[in-house]
């Protein structure tokens, strides 16, 4: 094929190619412009809000097999869009990434203008006018002195026919700062997403346990299965529980009886049936051991974790192992609290409840040590898929009860502390970002900032001060400011006389 | 075995607590009745356009809120802690704070009572829901709730809810009345087209006030979860819906700066934000129960 043969085709295609090339060239600029627009933010935020809703309809973290077994609908659709782990799905992550891009571009594009010279107002349109009693040449510096010295305004520009002054923190800076804070929070979230991992460990008393996570962060999991030993161990010195006694309320469920109580015909009644006790707190006295010596000690409880080596250890619960002796058999049976155990010689399994031990805060204010005891139940065969139980009574430590002619005693018990741990380098970044967001947002929304443009005019020997006040923030009050300007000008012998608006 | 306490001292404490609860419930029912009464006056104002009905409704609402504050003080005394733990308690706080915020915002209005209809209606609904469906028992705080983050989280969240309720009530009034005013069919409500613009601004300023509170509530909730459960965010349905509410109000605030959206679309976003807020507060409990989704916020269900 010769050139002259294909020339007409090239000529035909050429404009389209040029247009495509032009579009491609303009693409980065177009994307930047689109990503920095407020409208794009609205669209992305709207899409994200819808995606969040999707995530609340499907049980997150569920298994697709169990979902299908439980009668869940649209299984293939749920699997395709990863709706049971939606907040880690590509659809959601891409949308979140788009929001981050939008935020970063907006924040970047608005950084330069923070330092640009402000032009205000485009056309001078006074909102307040005062007649001054001073001579024209003296009035202008006097007004500026009052605004600067008495009211704390600073000069922005004096190049135009009007002078511009401002007061308060710059709204542009504050707005920029809380957007930048949100970007910082996003980076914290990304760090958490990529590097955080968590696990659980059960600490037995006086038995050191090496902290060796069985998982690792998402990024590290690409090349290794676990994060490896943390290089220190935890030692449980002591574990304690606290209970509080609280009465039960005898209160009707039907609406008419409730109305009767409201009308005073009946009264609600608190009662103390079966010594009701509810957990108040549980604590673990922990030691961090590194290289054979204790490097940190702390008593942790719910809401007060231990932090060491980038890890945070949380008190999540406890486990109890009960030693049960049947008759006088020297070998004790071991069972977990609230677990079922088959006792030789008995037809039905037994269930031993949590051993109540530790400190009890009584209703009347008294504090006492609980003599350890558990509850015993016989587990009967119930309806398919369920079990019925029959209360057999309380069993104190060292005490015994007779079940079907067998003596069952609580010989001993051991409490272990259940801790969860988390390694998350994103948390600190997130809190810093959050602090930025909140401080800047509160200052921007609740604070007050003013910008005043003014000109002193003289006509027929009448000297007038024309003011244009712009305010930002919920605490700002332009009328109050105008009043204060008037007051200070009066006090300084330039008597202002308010004129009707032009 | 536990030592048996002297029955007389227990009986005394139990009868005192029972008496106080009975007193609280009678007061609570009276407050609900007063909310109902003020709602009737406001409905009557909406139908008859009479200033007297509106004024009486406003006065009744003022009396109701005063009684409601007394009720909350009584509950605080009874429980020995800030009364925000159970849904029964938060519903009461929601009703009181919404009406109080409305009374504060409307203190300078002359003859404008329409937004109060929604506020009084919601307060009545919250009170009746608490009284008829929830248990008023004073429960001790469970270990995860014993955190100062929890108190800040709830207080700020409910302050923002109160502000959003009033903002939505104003916005809804504007949306309904504006077309009627243009046709000259809404005389007697104390509103003009200029006043409607002022009300839009008030609704916007209320969201501006509530938005940082909601932001702080979300952050304090995350900080609390981080201290108690070791994870600052777990995509729990309540957390997710609070984020949806925050996102919708973010859209609203942004749309106020976009010329094409600052009118009707922005107003609709504000009302949508209110709907999401109600979903966060109450709807999500129902959703979690309906779909069997486990929630960390079970104490509030």
* pLDDT tens track for B222-276: 999 999 888 899 888 889 999 999 999 999 999 999 998 988 999 999 999 999 9
Is it the case that residue B289 has pLDDT exceeding 70?
no
Answer yes or no: do B137 and A251 touch at CB < 8 A.
yes
Alpha-carbon distance A118 to A470, whole Å? 14
Burial (CB count within 10 angstroms: exposed 0-12, middle 13-18, buried 19+), residue B50? middle
Query: Which residues of chain A, if any, have pLDDT below 50?
Result: none
Closest CA to B144 of B299, B301, B254: B299
Option in B19, B136, B293 nearest A59 (CB):
B293
Q: Which residue has the tokens 């209703």?
A: A363
For residues A356 and A369, what is the distance between their CA atoms, to the nearest angstrom? 10
Contact B164, B207 (CB under 8 A): yes
Give mean pLDDT, residues B99-103: 96
Chain A residues with CB under 8 Å of B71 CB are none
Q: Which two tokens stand for residue B190?
A: 């104390």
Which sign does the torsion angle of CA A86, A91, A97, A102 carry?
A: negative
CB contact under 8 A, A48 and B247: yes
Cβ(A34)–Cβ(A40) below 8 Å: yes
Q: For residue A1, what pLDDT is reported?
A: 63
Give the minimum alpha-carbon distance from B51 to chain A in angstroms, rounded to a whole number: 30
pLDDT reported for residue B3: 46
B294 touches chain A (CB under 8 A): yes
Chain A CA closest to residue B283: A56
pLDDT of residue A456: 86
Question: How much is the average pLDDT of B204-211?
Answer: 96
Per-residue pLDDT reduced to its tens digit, B13-60: 888 999 999 999 999 999 999 999 999 999 999 999 888 999 999 999
Interface test with B, best of A52, A171, A360, A372 (most B CBs within 10 A): A52
Residue spans per domain, chain B: 2-300
pTM of the model: 0.88
Nearest-CB residue to A422 (from B131, B230, B291):
B230
CB–CB of A474 and B240 under 8 A?
Answer: no
- Percent helix, strand, coil in chain B, to 5, is 80, 0, 20
| Average pLDDT for B85-98 | 93
How does pLDDT run across B9-21, given as a tens digit for each residue?
A: 888 888 899 999 9
pLDDT in the model for residue A57 = 81
How many whole angstroms separate alpha carbon A98 and alpha carbon A145?
50
For residue A383, count other CB atoms closer than 10 A to its CB: 7
Of A60, A248, A474, the CB nearest to B205: A474
């Amino acid at each position: 094929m010769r050139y002259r043969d294909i020339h007409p085709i090239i000529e035909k295609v050429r404009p389209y190619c040029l247009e495509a090339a032009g579009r491609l060239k303009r693409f980065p600029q177009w994307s930047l412009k689109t990503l920095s627009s407020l409208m794009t933010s609205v669209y992305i935020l709207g899409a994200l809000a819808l995606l969040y809703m999707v995530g609340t309809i499907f049980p997150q973290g569920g298994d697709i097999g169990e979902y299908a077994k439980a009668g869940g609908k649209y299984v293939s659709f749920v699997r395709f869009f990863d709706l049971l782990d939606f907040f880690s799905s590509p659809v959601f992550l891409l949308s979140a990434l788009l929001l981050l891009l939008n935020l970063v571009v907006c924040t970047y594009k608005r950084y330069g203008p923070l330092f640009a010279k402000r032009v205000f107002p485009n056309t001078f349109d006074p909102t307040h006018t005062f007649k001054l009693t001073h001579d024209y040449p003296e009035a202008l510096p006097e007004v500026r002195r009052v605004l600067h010295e008495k009211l704390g305004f600073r000069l922005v520009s004096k190049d135009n026919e009007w002078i511009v002054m401002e007061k308060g923190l710059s709204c542009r800076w504050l707005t920029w700062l809380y957007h930048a804070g949100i970007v910082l929070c996003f980076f914290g979230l990304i760090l958490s997403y990529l590097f955080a991992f968590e696990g659980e460990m059960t600490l037995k008393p006086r038995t050191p346990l090496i902290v060796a996570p069985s998982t690792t962060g998402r990024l590290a999991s690409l090349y290794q299965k676990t994060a490896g030993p943390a290089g220190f161990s935890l030692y449980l010195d002591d574990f304690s529980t606290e209970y509080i006694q609280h009465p039960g309320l005898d209160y009707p469920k039907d609406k008419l009886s409730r109305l009767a109580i409201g009308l005073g015909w009946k009264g609600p009644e608190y009662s103390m049936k079966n010594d009701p006790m509810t957990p108040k707190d549980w604590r673990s006295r922990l030691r961090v051991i590194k290289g054979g010596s204790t490097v940190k000690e702390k008593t942790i409880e719910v809401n007060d974790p231990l932090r060491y080596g980038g890890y945070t250890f949380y008190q999540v619960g406890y486990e109890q192992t009960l030693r049960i002796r049947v008759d006088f058999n020297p070998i004790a049976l071991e069972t977990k609290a609230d677990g079922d155990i088959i006792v030789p010689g008995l037809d039905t399994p037994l269930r031993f409840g949590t051993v109540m031990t530790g400190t009890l805060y009584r209703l009347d204010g008294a504090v006492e040590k609980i003599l350890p005891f558990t509850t015993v139940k016989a587990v009967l065969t119930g309806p398919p898929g369920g079990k019925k139980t029959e209360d057999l009574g309380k069993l104190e430590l060292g005490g015994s009860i007779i079940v079907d002619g067998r003596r069952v005693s609580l010989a001993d018990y051991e409490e272990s502390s259940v801790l969860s741990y988390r390694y998350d380098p994103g948390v600190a970044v997130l809190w810093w970002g959050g602090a930025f967001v909140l401080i800047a947002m509160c200052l921007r929304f609740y604070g007050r900032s003013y910008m005043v443009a003014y000109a002193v005019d003289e006509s027929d020997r009448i000297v007038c001060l024309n003011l244009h006040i712009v305010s930002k923030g919920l605490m700002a009050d332009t009328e109050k400011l105008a009043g204060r300007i008037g007051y200070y000008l009066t006090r300084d012998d330039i008597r202002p006389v308010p004129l009707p608006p032009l | 075995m536990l030592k048996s306490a002297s029955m007389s001292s227990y009986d005394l404490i139990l009868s005192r607590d029972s008496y106080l609860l009975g007193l609280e419930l009678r007061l609570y029912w009276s407050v609900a009745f007063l909310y109902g009464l003020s709602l009737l006056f406001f409905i009557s104002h909406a139908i008859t356009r009479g200033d007297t009905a509106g004024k009486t409704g406003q006065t009744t609402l003022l009396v109701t809120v005063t009684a409601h504050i007394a009720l909350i003080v009584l509950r605080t005394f009874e429980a020995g802690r800030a009364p925000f733990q159970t849904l029964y308690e938060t519903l009461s706080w929601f009703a009181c704070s919404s009406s109080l915020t409305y009374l504060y915002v409307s203190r300078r209005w002359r003859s404008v009572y329409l937004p109060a209809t929604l506020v009084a209606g919601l307060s009545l609904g919250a009170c009746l829901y608490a009284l008829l469906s929830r248990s008023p028992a004073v429960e001790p705080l469970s270990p995860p709730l014993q955190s100062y983050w929890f108190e800040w989280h709830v207080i700020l969240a409910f302050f923002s809810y109160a502000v959003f309720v009033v903002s939505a009530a104003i916005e809804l009034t504007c949306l309904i009345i504006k077309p009627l005013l243009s046709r000259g069919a809404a005389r007697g409500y104390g509103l003009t087209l200029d006043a409607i613009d002022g009300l839009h601004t008030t609704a916007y300023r209320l969201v501006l006030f509530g938005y940082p509170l909601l932001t702080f509530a979300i952050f304090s909730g995350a900080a609390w979860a981080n201290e108690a459960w070791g994870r600052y965010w777990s995509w729990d349905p309540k957390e997710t819906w609070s984020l949806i509410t925050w996102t919708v109000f973010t859209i609203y605030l942004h749309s106020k700066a976009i010329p094409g959206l600052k009118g009707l679309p922005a107003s609709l976003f504000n009302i949508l934000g209110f709907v999401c807020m109600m979903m966060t507060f109450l709807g999500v409990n129902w959703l979690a129960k309906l779909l069997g989704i486990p929630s960390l916020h079970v104490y509030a269900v």
